[in-house]
Amino acid sequence: MTSPTFEKTNKTLVVTDLVKHFPGGRSALNFGATKQWVRAVDGVSFDIAPGETLGLVGESGCGKSTIAKLILRLEEPTAGSILFEGQEITDLKGAQLNNYRRSVQAVFQDPYSSLSPRMRVHDIIAEGLRIHTDYSKSDVTTRVNDVLALAGLRPDVGRLYPHEFSGGQRQRIAIAKALVLDTKMLVLDEAVSALDVSIRAQIITLLKDLQQELGIAYLYIGHDLATVGHLADRVMVMYLGRVLELDDSVDLVKNPRHPYTQALFAAALPSHPEDIRETGEQPNAEVPTALAPPTGCHFHPRCPDAMETCSVDFPQEVTLSGGRRISCHLYPSGSEV
């Protein structure tokens, strides 16, 4: 089953074969040695429709934050294409790039460091309007008050400074700031993980309500599987720069097929003492470094189902019936229905 928005063909974002390699090798002493590359993102493709949320999960170092930075054009891709509403954005410059930035905004994890402590809330939110529009002072105030209301804050908080707010309210300010222009897509990088349980539920509900009201596309990056599964329509699982599995979030949680996805879900904490799963089959080793990823399928050294071929070739991605994308030798090409 797919969400209704997924069936539309006019996607907000289409990412194809995206690659980002960083120069690596920590030793400052090996001048002249062959340059090593960290393959942070290594051929990733996905799309997001208007009003849809794509969840992105994976362990530290899997490249999820690099993808966020590439989409926000805070990093330049090594190769690949990012189409935003049909327009290639990887080579935008100057005024066109500015224009793109009106439409795509981000909300980060830590609302204590993402808001300038020296600016009043009104000025923080109005900054985008000052840069991108020629609104009059009263228009700016009207718009700022509108988005404050959208984010569930009273208009009179505009004169206060960020330190006068709690974590949850700060995150509301960050959301208001992200919505002040004609935002079409939000990149939410762990946007609720730093918040307390009760406050987290408030912000998750706010994000869902806003999406319904404004039809914005979300890319939600997180490590908490339950939260990602709750917010996202589809979930993409990444490991060391590559996509291993992608499907509708309910289907994926119910029936994870890739051994890595299965391991991730088995490691998730139970919501009741009675549904404790045995986590005995946890992959024991730690995540290898992206500087020297294992040959073949990057997951094979930790994989309980690894076969001989897994250490040699990276598995071709196949699309199974129902639209699940998976890269695993257990599902060889030709097994698609």
Partner 1 sequence: MARELLRVTDLATHYTGFGGSRVVKAVDGVSFSLEEGQTIGVVGESGCGKTTLCLSLVRLLAPGAEIVDGSIELGGRDIMKLSDKQMVEVRGKEIAMILQDPMTSLNPVINIETQVGEPARKHRGLSGGRLRERVRDLLDSVRIPSPEVRMEEFPHQMSGGMRQRIAGAIALSGEPRIIIADEPTTSLDVTIQAQYLDLLRKLQKETGVGLIFVTHDLGIVAKMCDDVIVMYAGKTVEKGSVRDIFSKPHHPYTDALIRSVPKLGSKDPLYRIDGQPPDLSSLPVGCSFAPRCPIADEYCSGHEPPLLEVSPRRFTACWKAEEYALREVQP
Residues of the shown chain interacting with partner 1 in the complex, contacts defined by CB under 8 A: 59-60, 166-168, 196-202, 204-205, 208, 223-227, 229-231, 250, 253-254, 263-274, 276, 279-280, 282-284, 286-287
Q: How far is the CB of 98 from partner 1 (least distance, A)?
A: 36
Cα→Cα distances 122→65, 119, 140, Å:
29, 8, 9
Q: In angstroms, what CA-CA distances link 41 with 68, 75, 116, 250?
A: 11, 12, 30, 26
Query: Of 58 and 128, which CB lies nearer to partner 1 in the complex structure?
Result: 58
Q: Of the two residues 74 and 269, which places its CB atom closer to partner 1 in the complex?
A: 269
Nearer to partner 1, 66 or 183 (CB): 66
Nearer CB in complex with partner 1: 77/168 = 168
Name the minimum Å distance from CB 68 to partner 1.
Answer: 18
- Shortest Å, Cβ 77 to partner 1: 26
Q: Which is nearer to partner 1, 59 or 75 (CB)?
A: 59
In the complex, the smallest distance separating the C-beta of residue 224 from partner 1, rounded to whole angstroms, is 8
Nearer to partner 1, 155 or 167 (CB): 167
**Residue 173 · residue 1 · CB < 8 Å:** no
DSSP secondary-structure letter at 194?
A: T
d(C-alpha 16, C-alpha 43), whole Å: 8
Torsion sign, CA atoms 294, 299, 302, 303: negative
Report the alpha-carbon distance of residue 337 to residue 331 in Å, rounded.
11
Neighbouring residues of 298: CB distance < 8 A, sequence distance ≥ 6: 239, 240, 241, 242, 288, 314
Q: What value does the CA radius of gyration of the chain take, rounded to a whole number of Å?
A: 21
Q: Least distance to partner 1 from the beta carbon of 128, Å? A: 27
User: Which residue has 């300038």 as its token pair?
Assistant: 116
Closest to partner 1 by CB, 138 vs 271, is: 271
Residue found under tokens 């404790």: 276
Pairing of strands 13-24, 317-319: unpaired
Give whole-number Cα distances, 139 to 47, 98, 129, 176, 177, in Å. 35, 21, 10, 16, 16
Residues contacting 90, CB < 8 A, separation 6+? 73, 76, 77, 80, 81, 82
By beta-carbon proximity to partner 1, the closer residue of 197 and 337 is 197
Min separation Cβ 207 and partner 1, Å: 11
Minimum distance of partner 1 from residue 291's CB (angstroms) = 13
Closest contact distance (angstroms) between CB of 323 and partner 1 is: 18
